[in-house]
C-alpha cells in the first residue's frame, strides 16, 4: 500500500502517464484553491465547514472499505420532505394528479401478471416516477425555513474533493488510477444532483461565480459519466449565453478541457462516435427496439406497454444475460430493471405514450412554478440521467429537481421580504402568484 506513495514510484507513474498526471495535478491545485476561496466566501464558520468536510470524507472512506446498502437513503429523505410538505401544505395541486394516480393504480393493479413460476420484478423502482410526480404536486411550492444555500454550495464544493479522495483511496489500496470515482452511490447517479445544485446556484440564486462552474466541470470530468457530461454541456450552453464576453472566454476553457480529457486522455473507452452501438445502454435500447421489430407502428400496438410485472423477452434476456445476473442475481430472472436506462425500460413497461408523458408532466409542473426557462434548466440533469440510469425513477436525480423548486420558492420569498421591507407593497399579489 505505502509503496504506491513512494516518490520514485510516483515519479515513474508521472512520466509514464504524463498527460493524465499533468491534468490531474493542475486540477488538484485549482480545485483546492477554488474550494478554499469559495468556502471563505459562502460560509461564516470555517471550522464547522472543515468538520463537515471531515465527516463527508469519513463517510466516503467507510463506503469505500465496506459498501453500505444506501440506495434507499435518497428515497427516505424524499419521503420525509414529502411528509413535511403534506403537513405544511399551502399550495394549489395540479389536476394532473388525477392522471398520475390513475396510471399508478392501473400499472400496480391491472398490469398483466408474470408467469406463476417466475420471480417477482423489483417493480417498486418502476412505479417511482408516478410517486415522485404525486410528491411534486404536493411539494412544488413548499416553503422551507432553513436556508438551502449551505446544501447547494456545500455539495458543489465538497463533491470534487470526495471524488479525489476516492481516487486516492483506490490508489492507496490497488495502485491504479480510478477513472470512475464516486462518493456514496455511483457516478451516474451522483452527477445529476451536482448539476441541479449548479442550476440552483447559477440560475436561481443568480450567482455567476466562475469558480462554481469550474468546480462542477471538474466534478463531471473526474466522475467520467457520459450522460452527466451531456447534461453538463447542455447546461453550459445556457450558462455561457447568460455571461459577459470575458467570462464566456474563461468558461470555455473547462468545456474544451472536458472534451480534450475525454477524447485524448481517457481515450476511446468512454466516448467514440464510430462505435456508439457498443455502449451498453444503446445495446439494451436496440434490444428493446428489436422486440418491436424496429417498427414504430409495432410500438404503438402496445399503447400502455406490457406492464410492470412482465419479464423482458427470454431471447433478448439471453443476449444480455450478464446484466440479468448483475441486477437480479440470476441469469434467468429477466427483470426489466436490467435494461438500466429509464427510456428503454419505460418504453417496454409503460408504452410510448406514458414514456413521453412522464417528462412532460415533470416539465409542466416546473414551468408552472418557475417559468419555462428555469423549468428547462432544472429538468436537464434528470432528463440526461434517464438515458443512462433511472432518471425520472431515481431518487437522487429527483432530489435535485425538487431542490430547484424549494430553492426557487425560498429565493422568491426572500426577494418578496426585501421588497416589502423597502416598499411594504405587492406582498399579497406576489404571494398569490405562488399558490
Partner 1 sequence: MSDQSSSSNFSSSHAPVMTLDALVTYAVQKIRFLLVFAGAGLVLGLLLLWITPKRYEASFLIKMPTANALNEFGVLQPHLIKVVPPAFDAKKLLLKPELFRDDTLAACAYSDTNADRKSLVKAIYATEADYGSSILVAVRVPGQETAQACADRIIADVIAFANAEKNNFVLYTLQVNKNISAKSMVNTDAKLTAPVRISDGPVSPRPWHLLIGLTLFGLLLACALDWLRYLYASRNHPEASDRVPGANS
Q: What is the contact surface with partner 1 in residues (CB under 8 A)?
A: 86-95, 98, 101-102, 105-106, 108-110, 113, 115-117, 203, 313-315, 318, 367-374, 408, 432-435
Q: What is the DSSP letter of 277?
A: G
Write down the least CB distance from residue 106 to partner 1, Å.
8
Write down the least CB distance from residue 203 to partner 1, Å.
8
Look at residue 435 and give its three-state secondary structure: coil
Give the containing element (helix H, strand E) for 272.
none
Question: For partner 1, which is the closer residue by CB, 174 or 414?
Answer: 414
Question: For partner 1, which is the closer residue by CB, 256 or 435?
Answer: 435
Question: Contact at 8 Å (CB) between 149 and 406?
Answer: no
Cell numbers linked to 285: 435500447
Write down the least CB distance from residue 321 to partner 1, Å.
10
Q: How far apart are CA 132 and CA 397, in angstroms?
A: 11
Contacts with 282 (C-beta within 8 Å, 6 or more apart), sequence order:
276
Write down the least CB distance from residue 211 to partner 1, Å.
22
Question: For partner 1, which is the closer residue by CB, 203 or 398?
Answer: 203
Q: What angle do CA 19, 21, 27 make, to 5 degrees?
A: 100
Question: Contact at 8 Å (CB) between 129 and 358?
Answer: yes
Question: For partner 1, which is the closer residue by CB, 69 or 95?
Answer: 95
Write down the least CB distance from residue 430 to partner 1, Å.
8
Question: For partner 1, which is the closer residue by CB, 113 or 329?
Answer: 113
Write down the least CB distance from residue 416 to partner 1, Å.
10
Question: Contact at 8 Å (CB) between 388 and 191?
Answer: no
Helices (H), 111-148: 123-139
Question: For partner 1, which is the closer residue by CB, 41 or 90?
Answer: 90
Q: How far apart are CA 146 and CA 372, in angstroms?
A: 27
Amino acid at each position: 500500500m505505502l509503496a504506491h506513495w513512494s516518490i520514485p514510484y510516483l515519479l515513474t507513474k508521472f512520466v509514464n502517464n504524463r498527460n493524465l498526471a499533468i491534468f490531474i495535478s493542475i486540477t488538484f491545485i485549482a480545485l483546492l484553491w477554488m474550494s478554499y476561496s469559495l468556502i471563505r466566501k459562502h460560509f461564516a464558520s470555517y471550522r464547522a465547514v472543515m468538520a463537515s468536510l471531515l465527516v463527508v470524507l469519513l463517510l466516503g472512506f467507510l463506503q469505500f472499505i465496506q459498501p453500505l446498502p444506501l440506495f434507499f437513503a435518497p428515497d427516505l429523505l424524499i419521503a420525509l420532505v414529502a411528509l413535511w410538505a403534506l403537513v405544511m401544505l399551502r399550495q394549489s395541486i395540479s389536476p394532473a394528479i388525477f392522471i398520475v394516480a390513475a396510471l399508478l393504480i392501473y400499472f400496480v393493479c391491472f398490469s398483466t401478471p408474470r408467469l406463476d413460476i417466475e420471480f417477482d420484478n423489483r417493480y417498486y423502482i418502476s412505479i417511482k416516477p408516478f410517486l415522485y410526480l404525486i410528491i411534486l404536486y404536493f411539494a412544488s411550492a413548499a416553503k422551507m425555513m432553513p436556508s438551502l444555500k449551505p446544501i447547494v454550495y456545500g455539495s458543489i464544493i465538497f463533491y470534487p474533493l470526495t471524488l479525489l479522495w476516492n481516487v486516492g483511496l483506490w490508489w492507496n489500496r490497488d495502485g491504479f488510477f480510478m477513472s470512475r470515482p464516486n462518493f456514496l452511490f455511483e457516478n451516474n447517479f451522483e452527477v445529476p444532483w451536482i448539476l441541479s445544485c449548479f442550476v440552483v446556484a447559477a440560475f436561481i440564486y443568480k450567482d455567476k461565480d466562475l469558480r462554481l462552474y469550474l468546480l462542477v466541470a471538474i466534478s463531471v470530468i473526474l466522475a467520467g459519466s457520459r450522460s452527466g457530461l451531456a447534461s453538463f454541456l447542455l447546461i453550459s450552453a445556457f450558462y455561457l449565453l447568460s455571461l459577459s464576453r470575458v467570462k464566456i472566454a474563461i468558461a470555455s476553457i473547462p468545456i474544451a478541457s472536458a472534451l480534450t480529457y475525454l477524447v485524448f486522455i481517457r481515450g476511446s473507452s468512454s466516448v467514440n462516435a464510430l462505435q456508439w452501438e457498443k455502449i451498453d445502454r444503446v445495446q439494451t435500447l436496440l434490444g428493446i427496439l428489436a422486440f418491436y421489430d424496429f417498427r414504430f407502428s409495432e410500438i404503438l400496438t402496445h399503447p400502455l406497454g406490457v406492464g410492470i410485472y412482465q419479464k423482458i423477452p427470454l431471447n433478448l434476456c439471453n443476449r444480455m444475460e450478464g446484466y440479468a445476473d448483475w441486477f437480479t442475481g440470476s441469469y434467468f430472472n429477466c427483470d426489466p430493471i436490467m435494461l438500466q436506462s429509464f427510456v428503454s425500460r419505460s418504453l417496454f413497461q409503460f408504452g410510448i405514450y406514458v414514456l413521453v408523458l412522464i417528462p412532460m408532466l415533470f416539465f409542466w409542473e416546473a414551468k408552472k412554478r418557475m417559468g419555462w426557462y428555469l423549468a428547462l434548466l432544472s429538468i436537464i440533469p434528470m432528463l440526461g440521467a434517464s438515458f443512462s440510469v433511472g432518471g425520472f425513477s431515481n431518487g437522487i436525480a429527483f432530489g435535485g429537481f425538487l431542490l430547484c423548486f424549494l430553492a426557487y420558492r425560498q429565493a422568491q420569498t426572500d426577494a418578496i421580504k426585501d421588497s416589502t421591507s423597502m416598499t411594504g407593497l405587492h406582498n399579497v399579489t406576489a404571494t398569490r402568484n405562488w399558490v
